[in-house]
Structure 1
Amino acid sequence: MGPGVSLNHPCPMTTYRNRGLALALCVAAATTALTATAVPAAQARAAGARVPALDWKPCTDAHAAKGQECASLPVPLDYAHPDGPTLTVAVSRLRSDHPDKRRGALVVIPGGPGGSGVRQLAEQGAALREETGGAYDLVSLDPRGVAASTSASCGLSADDRMMVNLRSWPGPGGDISENVVRSRRIAEACARNGGAVLRSMTSRNEARDIDRFRQALGERRLSGYSVSYGTYVGAVYAQLFPEHTDRWVLDSSGDPDPSRVERGWLANMAPAADIRFPDFAAWAADPAREAEGLRLARRAEDVRPLFLALARKLDVEPRRTATEGVPLTGALLRQALQMSLYSDSSFPMLARLIKAAQDPAATPVVPPPLAEPLSDQDAAAVVAVLCNDVSWPKSVSSYERAVAADRVRHPLTAGSPVNVLPCTFWKDAPAEKPVRVTDRGPSNILMIQGLRDPSTPYFGALKMRQALGDRARLVTVDHGGHGMYLDSGNTCGNRAVTTYLTTGARPERDALCAAE
């Protein structure tokens, strides 16, 4: 097993917030994996091992917020055997700075898969505490496999850990033969090296770990704020442990269809990019870009054909970049586009890359996340959940057909969202059936969603809203990008979430926040 695993006792470990990376990636699991069986929540709790006390100490990570505390929580490797082997989950908290106003604990559920809750709490904790007036102790965790929690390794080569390769972009003309070879190789490496820890990385287990954290905190109920992939974990938690939820916020949700889950999220990114791209086009054609040297066209409608023509050219003639061994290909340019659509603040980076690619005398600079490989731990953490949660089609020809059709419908993403992945060659997945999110449970969920989200598109969020029924209210924000609360700058959206967390008052019905 990987470092930090304990068969009999917890091993202390210490801590990245990664909201957009995960929905772009997939990898493989282990043949030596844990064989888990479905256990009803009540049965698992009744049979659960004793929850130990948390030994809180000041966080030692350089990024830690002032007053942030860290601890280690042992959790069962397999919840079907709660007294069996354990692994360690890193947990963190920021105590309320107004104890007289404290009403409970609020868990921050990170995005991903692969995002660090400990790091997200360090980054957002102060703003969240100020926004909620100290009404909560803010708590979070690094999901199993992530950052300071017990990790696993697939033993992948550096080339296989490059995002543009994990992402499985088709070759020029849509050929996926190289993707098939790489995906099979990654799956076999994870099966060989990942072990039981890698196999245990699932959304259901993350929800179970959160509930074990709740017990260790001594809280009867938790409030929650989740973003991106974390909203699915939050919805799963609310389905499995409804009696332990208080005020529950889902920010930027995907379609929870249990027959597809992560596979569906990836496929939805193709039309989502089409919906979001006009925001970038309008920005890149704005005369204000002239003085910045970033104006790409005189008219917004000319930016898309410009981008597509450049990507096709780079498919055939890649450019040397400032990063040795990392050429600017059409696939890398498209990946940079997807990454940039998450936030308007990334538009200048994309425009600079396009400008440099157009200039024969320039040396393009690859954005840092695309310039070097992920660590082996991060690659495993990012991809394992996607392949463990749901079964993927095994027919290579089905991916060939899907890519050919998707490239025509959505050329900005060139077929990648429906391409073959290591999950295609995954062993014995899923270990448990995905959780079906339903309308059974307390009406205490507030959803907030942007209209032009490139990762968890609005039409997918409506599926989550439909599944939750009267349990939820939806606040829609006329805004582009991914992540709304305290990120979009929309006063109306921020106010709706803050009001709910501090007073419990939700809109009586679904509401729309106008663009600001």
Structure 2
Amino acid sequence: MRTRGAGYGLVAALGSLVLSALTVPAASGTASGPAAGLRADPPGPETRGTAVAAERAAAKGVAFGPCPDSEGLPETVGCGTVEVPLDYADPDGTRITLTVSRIAAAGEPAEHQGALVYNPGGPGASGMFFPLVGQLDAFKGIARAYDLVGYAPRGVARSAPISCEEPSAHIKAPSGSETYPSRSFKRERVAEARAYAEGCARRSGPALRHYTSLNNARDLDVLRAALGQERLTFMGASYGTYFGALYATMFPSHVRRMVFDSAVHPGVEKIWYRSNLDQSFAFEARWADFRAWVARHDDVFGLGDTPGAVGRRYDEVKARLAVEPAGGTVGPAQLQSAFLGAGYYDDYWPARAKALSEYLRGNEKPLVQQASPKKEWAAESENSRAVYTANLCNDAPWPTDWAVWERDNDALARKAPFETWDNAWMNLPCAFWSPPRQRPLEVRTRWGALPTVLILAAERDAATPYEGAKELARRLKGAVLITEEDAGTHGVGGGSNDCVNAYLEDYLVRGEAPVRRASCAPHPEPDPVSLERRLPQPVLPRPAV
């Protein structure tokens, strides 16, 4: 699942600074006491270890103070740490430290509803930036009611970081990408995937097996306790919705309010091999959306007046870069990664189309600027991919026979060529991962187990296809689904859709949600000229991931 983190609406809007239907009450700000939940995480050593760690964290709390310069956060943000067990079956054994950030609620004491904790997904993305969203119009009401709390999950940044290769090797460029890979290309990439998996085991050691989605959910409960919250108010995007759903299943009585933005399909049968095949198929439709938009603006870009013509120009550029990389650093793989971003976020469309157009006119500078790996991001990007790989490979069984990967991806590439094989290469280290591997937890709650939770989804999202949001709503009984119709941006809360943002604020601040579901019209398509000048920076994990 080639994710770039989500919560894109939040991060994109922050770049310029340094979510009406019949409503019913959701969870109140003061309700407490256990709910009659379905304990899908049976009592065992990890369950007991989580309770021990949470009790310790509650007693210690979080001592917020100035943030280290390395976080790049302004003085208005406070930083602290929380200790969690590396292995929850052994809470008295090795402990690791997670970094946490916070800005206190801006409203009057009577408005205060506790802490709102956020995770942007990945796996491998840090949410340390999150407290800054209080500066956005869409979040000002929320920021009055809540302490805005971000954190870096285990493995990420300064939170017991893991690594699989040297950062310089991770961003090495140019590199190749073949839509229908030859046998020799496949052999090279299989060897690279095997070496990468071996590097993860060698560089991170025995601790590597403890970087899992279940442990991310347990860490979240320890963080809740450390923040002094009897029940958790949480917003997760993309992958953050998956371990958020695990949390809701494991700790239903600890949930106050939860927002799932751009939801991963929670089905055991999907985690994670089938999810990636579904994602690659969905990107084909989103790639078609981008090409259709470019074709409608042929007067601006000159790349052709049909989606097919635009696609042929892209293929032409990809072939030329295989012979002569742009700027010595942008080959077919770097081009593919840059244009994959257009499948995630339509705000990228103007700049990507302009870069393609300029390259074909003899000016490679915009393409080099947008697609070249950034040396200053090398360590972050390498760490993000290491965490991504560790979580997904540890979480579930994967096919270990290369013939299965080759059969499935060859067949899919005939229907969805744009992203299929590049996505396969991203995840192929899981074929060579050292055991043990977990069995995914069945995400499901009974009626009455949870307070109302809110699910936000864009109908044409490719990174987390819409069926995942519908399935999560079916499994978390009483969940409310808000759909941005005919739109495909990944991560919609706090973005440019006022209708979605109104539902988000109504839920978090006033505890109100539609009875079951509601829809919003799509946000406007990007302007082919004006938006290119304010293109937001990529969201972690970086495009190399």
Which TM-score applies when normalising by structure 2? Answer: 0.79
Distance 1:65 1:361, change over 3 A: closer
Q: Of residues 367, 370, 385 in structure 2, which corresponds to 1:367?
A: 370
Shift of 1:255: 0.8
Query: Does the 8 A contact of 2:84 with 2:96 survive in 1?
Result: yes
Distance 1:304 1:171 in 2: 16
Residue in 2 that maps onto 1:30: none
Residue in 1 that maps onto 2:386: 380
Distance 1:228 1:513, change over 3 A: same
Shift of 1:395: 0.3
Distance 2:460 2:179 in 1: 25
Shift of 1:493: 1.1
Query: Does the 8 A contact of 1:96 with 1:137 survive in 2?
Result: yes
Q: 1:85-107 CA deviation, whole Å, 9 max, x = no partner? A: 11110011111111220022111
Distance 1:178 1:121, change over 3 A: farther
Q: 1:117-176 CA deviation, whole Å, 9 max, x = no partner? A: 112333x243365132511111121001111211122234733455997x9866744742
Residue in 2 that maps onto 1:12: none
Residue in 2 that maps onto 1:457: 465
Residue in 1 that maps onto 2:160: 150
Q: 1:233-280 CA deviation, whole Å, 9 max, x = no partner? A: 211111111111111100001111223323333222222212222332
Distance 2:330 2:154 in 1: 34
Shift of 1:418: 3.9
Residue in 2 that maps onto 1:82: 91
Which TM-score applies when normalising by structure 1? Answer: 0.84
Distance 1:498 1:371, change over 3 A: same
Q: 1:347-394 CA deviation, whole Å, 9 max, x = no partner? A: 123213322443467464152564557324333223211211112100
2:323 is the alignment partner of 1:318: yes
Q: Of residues 290, 306, 327 in structure 2, which corresponds to 1:299?
A: 306
Q: Which SS does the other structure have where 1:374 is aligned?
A: helix
Q: Of residues 228, 238, 245 in structure 1, which corresponds to 2:248?
A: 238
Structure 1: gaps (5+ residues): 1-16, 23-36
- Provide the aligned length of Structure 1 versus Structure 2: 473
Distance 2:202 2:360 in 1: 44
Residue in 2 that maps onto 1:339: 341
Distance 2:43 2:360 in 1: 54
Moved over 6 A (4+): 167-171
Query: Does the 8 A contact of 2:295 with 2:306 survive in 1?
Result: yes
Shift of 1:415: 2.8
Q: Of residues 71, 77, 86 in structure 1, which corresponds to 2:80?
A: 71
2:521 is the alignment partner of 1:514: yes
Residue in 2 that maps onto 1:473: 480
Match of 1:233, as an amino acid? F
Distance 1:120 1:295, change over 3 A: farther
Query: Does the 8 A contact of 2:142 with 2:505 survive in 1?
Result: yes
Q: 1:317-364 CA deviation, whole Å, 9 max, x = no partner? A: 433212x3x2422x3332222122222221123213322443467464
Residue in 1 that maps onto 2:124: 114
Q: 1:176-225 CA deviation, whole Å, 9 max, x = no partner? A: 21111000001111111212333221111111111111111111011111
Distance 1:355 1:320 in 2: 16
Q: Which SS does the other structure have where 1:271 is aligned?
A: helix
Distance 1:348 1:499, change over 3 A: same
Q: Of residues 205, 225, 233 in structure 2, which corresponds to 1:215?
A: 225
Distance 2:411 2:430 in 1: 21
Residue in 1 that maps onto 2:283: 273
Residue in 2 that maps onto 1:391: 397
2:407 is the alignment partner of 1:401: yes
Distance 2:7 2:227 in 1: 30
Higher helix proportion (structure 1 or 2): 2
Residue in 1 that maps onto 2:331: 328
Q: Of residues 491, 499, 503 in structure 2, which corresponds to 1:496?
A: 503
Distance 1:66 1:121 in 2: 12
* C-alpha RMSD over aligned residues: 2.9
Shift of 1:414: 4.5
2:186 is the alignment partner of 1:180: no
Task: Tell me whether 410-419 or 208-217 shows the greater mean CA deviation.
Answer: 410-419
Query: Does the 8 A contact of 1:198 with 1:380 survive in 2?
Result: no
Distance 2:91 2:158 in 1: 22
Distance 1:381 1:354 in 2: 32
Distance 1:164 1:342, change over 3 A: farther
Distance 1:168 1:158, change over 3 A: farther
Query: Does the 8 A contact of 1:114 with 1:382 survive in 2?
Result: yes
Match of 1:438, as an amino acid? R
Distance 2:422 2:51 in 1: 44
Match of 2:77, as an amino acid? Q
Q: Which SS does the other structure have where 1:190 is aligned?
A: helix
Q: 1:28-53 CA deviation, whole Å, 9 max, x = no partner? A: xxxxxxxxx99466533444462223
Distance 1:196 1:450, change over 3 A: same
Q: Which SS does the other structure have where 1:268 is aligned?
A: helix
Match of 1:415, as an amino acid? W
Q: Which SS does the other structure have where 2:221 is aligned?
A: helix
Distance 1:446 1:299 in 2: 39
Task: Tell me whether 244-253 or 193-202 shows the greater mean CA deviation.
Answer: 193-202
